[in-house]
Amino acid sequence: MNIKTLELIDNTLRIIDQTRLPGELVYLNLDNYYDIIAAIKSLAVRGAPAIGIAAAYGLVIAAGAKPNVDRAYMQQVGEELKAARPTAVNLMWAVDRALGALSDDSDIAKDARRVALAIHEEDRLLCEKIGVNGAALINDGDTILTHCNAGALATGGIGTALGVIYTCQEQGKKIKVFADETRPLLQGARLTTWELGQAGIDVTLITDSTAGLLMRRGEIDHVIVGADRIAKNGDFANKIGTYPLAVLAKAHDIPFYVAAPYSTFDNAIESGDDIVIEERAAEEVTEGFDRRTAPEGVAVYSPAFDVTPHDLVTAYVTDRGVERGA
């Protein structure tokens, strides 16, 4: 994969503006940390690992822009970055890891850069390991269903769920992918199909509600999704619409895999009941992509994520191996 979702150049973070895909490949150059916060909130950069990396780079840029920077200031910036999106644990993890390496007795700007670059490189390597571990579960000729986008656009490497698919391709396996459109912001339609198309993967776009039909017909061999936070008991949060897929997979006896790095596991929370679910603006549903599709004034409930119970998960594919679920 040659997609560079984000890259630190001097004291500027260069990202692909994912709100412009697939129509345009546009890069944003962010040279202050509050623009990085805005990019995370607007989903210009998205995906749990990627926003963690972006936040770590936000600390680098903040440190480089302020003379006589101290740890108290960095802590303040870190809290602002962590507040950008509440569900993805990688965001908090990356900021806390970077802050933990800083002290007033050190060169804060230099240390922040060192840790951020290390987080980015580590994620690249984690994705490769997840890809290898997950590919061992996939046979030549299999068909995979995925939801939302958990590929190069969502990480610092080849991706988690899509990383498995890319690794299968590298191994010479002929596989087919069905990608849910993933309403309401169509990350599957706009991003996953674009990514897979760039790599020459056989991908077919479906509406979210088509998955059950394909499963009933026996056309799906595996479901593979990413995760934004995994609780101690294995319950996990992922893009809204994931839980119904897990229920359908269970009903049709189809393996359901969660692909995620160790940094997505949050042992500080016992179960999915403790995961804070981000709610998005009503306009993303009623006026998506600048076209009104619902009456003025209609009430809207728009959670960005749902929680899937651990007993619906066949296995967790991580950088450290495959851990069997239910």
> Are 63 and 33 in the same domain?
yes
Q: Is residue 173 part of a domain?
A: yes
> Are 154 and 292 in the same domain?
yes
> Are 143 and 223 in the same domain?
yes
Q: Please report the DSSP string for 113-149 in residue order.
A: HHHHHHHHHHHHHHHHHHHHHHHTT--TT-EEEE-S-
Average pLDDT over residues 179-198: 97
> Are 44 and 122 in the same domain?
yes
> Are 145 and 118 in the same domain?
no
- Would strands 321-324 and 256-259 be described as parallel, antiparallel, or unpaired? unpaired
> Are 287 and 142 in the same domain?
yes
Q: What are φ and ψ of residue 16, in 5° steps?
A: -75, 130
CATH code, 20: 1.20.120.420
By the 10 Å C-beta count (0-12 exposed, 13-18 middle, 19+ buried), 143 is classed as: middle
**Percent of the chain whose predicted confidence (pLDDT) is above 90:** 92
Name the helix (H) or strand (E) containing 26: none
- The residues pairing with 151 across neighbouring beta strands, listed in sequence order, are 159
> Are 151 and 297 in the same domain?
yes
Which residues 6+ apart lie within 8 Å of 3 measured at CB?
A: 16, 152, 153, 195, 198
CB 54 within 8 A of CB 13: yes
Query: Which of these three, 127, 145, 176, is where a domain ends?
Result: 127
> Are 122 and 139 in the same domain?
no
> What pLDDT score does 65 carry?
86
Query: Which of these three, 76, 100, 127, is where a domain ends?
Result: 127
Instruction: Provide the pLDDT confidence category of residue 69 given band limits of 50, 70 and 90.
Output: confident
Q: Is residue 287 part of a domain?
A: yes
Instruction: Provide the pLDDT confidence category of residue 1 given band limits of 50, 70 and 90.
Output: low
Question: Structure tokens of 288?
Answer: 């998506």
Q: Is 104 an active-site residue?
A: no
> Are 50 and 74 in the same domain?
yes
The CA–CA distances, whole Å, from 115 to 39, 158, 253 equal 21, 21, 43
> Are 30 and 178 in the same domain?
no
CA distance 179 to 192: 7
State which residues form the domain around 114: 6-127
> Which of 111, 180, 208, 228 is labelled catalytic?
228
Average pLDDT over residues 55-68: 92
Percent composition of the chain: helix, strand, coil (DSSP 3-state, to 5) = 45, 20, 40
Query: Which of these three, 66, 98, 127, is where a domain ends?
Result: 127
CA distance 208 to 166: 23
Instruction: Provide the pLDDT confidence category of residue 317 given band limits of 50, 70 and 90.
Output: very high
pLDDT: which is higher, 18 or 102: 18
Q: Is residue 1 part of a domain?
A: no
Number of domains in the chain: 2
Q: Is residue 184 part of a domain?
A: yes
Q: Is residue 60 part of a domain?
A: yes
Q: Is residue 111 part of a domain?
A: yes
> Are 117 and 140 in the same domain?
no
Q: Is residue 258 part of a domain?
A: yes
